[in-house]
């Protein structure tokens, strides 16, 4: 009897992964947001310090270092953004998707931040190729990107 009563009150979880198309749209929208942030950030920093202006010129000459710094900054940007927005980003708001744990709950702030940092791994973006898309930053943090309209969750976004 107890198991029957328990099942009546348990919430049903049905997670529908976001399509590869929505994942790509998320990436492109978030990348555009990152470039706007990066441009604004560097404009302010360079205007405040001549030393930073010299560093910016140095980065233009050293493309590899520029790419590595940009990759780390993108990971930090996405980690902080998803952490502050509880598993959402600008792209995810627009496409109606969200990050969730494999159990259907909102991931912890630590998990969301680590998920963003995992994006700093070189060639990580290529791990998203495939259908369904399950990139390294999802695998390493046991998270999923789901379609909110088609999923039933334990918690609200």
6 domain residue, yes or no: no
**Given this model, what pLDDT does residue 157 score?**
66
- Please indicate, yes or no, if residue 132 is contained in any of the structural domains: yes
Query: Would 65 be classed as within a structural domain?
Result: yes
Would you say residue 8 has pLDDT above 80?
Answer: no
pLDDT of amino acid 3: 47
CA distance 77 to 86: 14
Which of 26-35, 107-116, 125-134 is predicted with the least confidence, judged by mean pLDDT? 125-134
The answer to whether the pTM exceeds 0.95 is no
Q: Would you say residue 156 lies in a domain?
A: no
pLDDT in tens, 62-109: 999 988 999 999 999 999 999 999 999 999 999 999 999 988 899 999
The mean pLDDT of the chain is 88
From residue 37, how far is each of 17, 56, 117, 142, 150 by CA, in Å?
28, 16, 17, 28, 32
Domain that holds residue 139: 14-147
- At 119-132, the pLDDT tens digits run 999 899 889 887 77
Per DSSP, 149 falls in state T
Query: Is 4 domain-assigned?
Result: no
Domain membership of residue 3 (yes or no) is no
Does 10 or 16 have the greater pLDDT score?
16
**99 in a domain, yes or no?**
yes
Q: State how many domains the chain has.
A: 1
């Amino acid at each position: 009897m107890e198991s029957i009563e328990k099942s009546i009150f348990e919430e049903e979880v049905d997670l529908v992964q976001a399509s590869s198309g929505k994942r790509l749209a998320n990436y492109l929208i978030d990348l555009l947001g990152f470039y706007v942030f990066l441009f604004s950030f560097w404009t302010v920093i360079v205007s405040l310090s001549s030393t930073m202006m010299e560093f910016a010129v140095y980065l233009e000459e050293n493309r590899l270092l520029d790419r590595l710094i940009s990759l780390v900054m993108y990971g930090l940007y996405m980690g902080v953004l998803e952490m502050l927005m509880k598993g959402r980003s600008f792209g995810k708001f627009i496409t109606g998707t969200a990050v969730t744990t494999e159990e259907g709950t909102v991931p912890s702030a630590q998990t969301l931040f680590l998920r963003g940092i995992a994006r700093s791994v070189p060639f990580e973006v290529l791990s998203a190729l495939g259908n369904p898309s399950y990139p390294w930053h999802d695998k390493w943090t046991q998270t999923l990107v789901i379609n909110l309209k088609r999923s039933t969750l334990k918690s609200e976004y």
